[in-house]
A and B are shown apart, each in its own frame.
Chain A
């Protein structure tokens, strides 16, 4: 039998430290969400839910009092369609910047850099005024358009390094076979860049799903999304901590699922720029 070396013990210790540092907050959310509201509000908190008092009441209450499922579903539908829109448009833009020469290219590039740095909040007030005049406020269509179009500068920029390294030969072969330029993007570039596409899809979906600013400003009832709904649990006179924790966890579930399944793609989406 191999003897355990001190290096291995230290490594194990390091793994335990890092994993627990990263997971403690989620454990705490789960812990609080399983307690009755009265047991959360005590000066020496329960570090684990004592078996006698574990309850799913918080989950039951938020599912019956608020239509949490509808809000989550709204978020998923809106963000999914919006992400498809963002990626189609951004890949097409990145393709033309990487593979074409045109006069204003440099300015367009710096324009994109500028637009991706501008804070979203500067758009909120005027968009609100315009869309309420158009009667589009609080509709799914509006949110799909807003999340679909707002990602264009950032995701064109993210897609650019993948396009730069894309072999010209493949594109020329496609053109010789009679593909239109859209056909080249759609049939050749996008399938070959499947990994990058998945990576950017997840990044965009997660950011749109988790975004609070637009969903809080433009959805109220019909198209209400889950993030602003979470903020409604704390009332004026009470702090229902268990409900807040339960809501936060439920809202996180779809994202957690996607991230666990596709985790290896996420990093490459962000680092395509620096690793190549």
Chain B
């Protein structure tokens, strides 16, 4: 079983494509962050400005809030809808085929749709809420800093909660039905069955879905850029948009790489503390 030579072709060369195209540019970027735009070596000057940049820290805070809320809500509501759909009988075949459609839309198009639907004067969201008497006046969903933050998170959740519902639905349907027969025999009610059979059996899926959604949410760029561009002001700016703004839109190249280095360091700490230990547990199982 153990042959060493083929690994060069099977593993080393394929993996080196990633190293060459991404990791080496990444290291090059870190080395650039110690220079200014005239290519003078400036040491940690860029990093000092990053640490004094209140907007950057605000964007970090919002990125983490965003990731926690989005991953948490999608897991919770996905679980809820997954179990709910499982009880819909034969009709669930129709439901299943519909759940992937929102997933197929790009976050870019979703952001544009959000601009249409959330517009203060012309948006359907305001119109419906006012007609139902929930709101008295139309709200500027994307104009007010707090509301814009909520809008970004809600629009992300409303798009992809169906995908996570589908994952939970499929996982729920692989639980052997003997377990449910047994719990019936033991006289368990629907709540007890949920708490002692369904939820424990779905725990691996919950862990997987939450962590992968959290990681994707930390990387969020598309939706925020298409929906608000980080505005109003910098209220909805997530870390990726912040780095993009400095490096690409403002052309503050070296400063952008310094922000990117700090951001990747913070994500790495998250990986070491949370994600990697979780993986070890999955691997040992």
Q: Do A and B come from one complex?
A: yes
Residue from B100, B112, B159, B283 within 8 A of A266 (CB atoms) = B100
Structural contact, B98 and A126, CB atoms closer than 8 A: no
Contact residues in A for B204 (Cβ distance below 8 Å):
274
CB pair A252 B15 closer than 8 Å: no
19 further contact pairs, Cβ within 8 A, besides A120-B219, A126-B25, A210-B105: A14-B91, A25-B159, A26-B105, A44-B127, A100-B3, A109-B283, A119-B219, A119-B267, A129-B253, A130-B25, A149-B17, A211-B222, A227-B222, A231-B226, A244-B116, A247-B112, A248-B113, A259-B101, A266-B100
Of A40, A180, A212, the residue contacting B107 (CB under 8 A) is A212
Q: Does chain B have a CB within 8 A of A245?
A: yes
Residues of the A chain whose Cβ atoms lie less than 8 Å from the Cβ of B122: 40-43, 45, 241
A152 CB within 8 Å of chain B? yes
State whether B21 touches A259 (Cβ < 8 A). no
Which A residues, 132 to 161, have Cβ-Cβ distances below 8 Å to chain B? Answer: 145-146, 148-150, 152-153
Contact assessment for B2 and A101 in the assembled complex, using a CB-CB cutoff below 8 Å: yes
Give me the 8 closest cross-chain CB pairs, A-B, nearest first: A248-B109, A126-B29, A210-B106, A181-B6, A126-B25, A89-B14, A121-B240, A212-B222
Known: A15-B95, A113-B276, A125-B257. A267 touches B11 (CB 8 A): no
Q: Assess whether A118 is in contact with B264, with CB atoms less than 8 Å apart.
A: yes
Enumerate chain A residues within 8 angstroms of B28, measured Cβ to Cβ: 126, 129-130
How many angstroms between the C-alpha atoms of A274 and B279 in the bound complex? 12
A-B contact pairs, 30 of them (CB 8 A): A14-B85, A22-B99, A25-B159, A26-B102, A43-B121, A92-B11, A93-B14, A93-B15, A96-B6, A96-B7, A100-B10, A114-B276, A117-B215, A118-B267, A121-B260, A122-B260, A125-B248, A126-B29, A149-B22, A181-B10, A212-B221, A213-B221, A227-B108, A230-B109, A231-B108, A241-B115, A241-B122, A245-B116, A247-B109, A263-B96
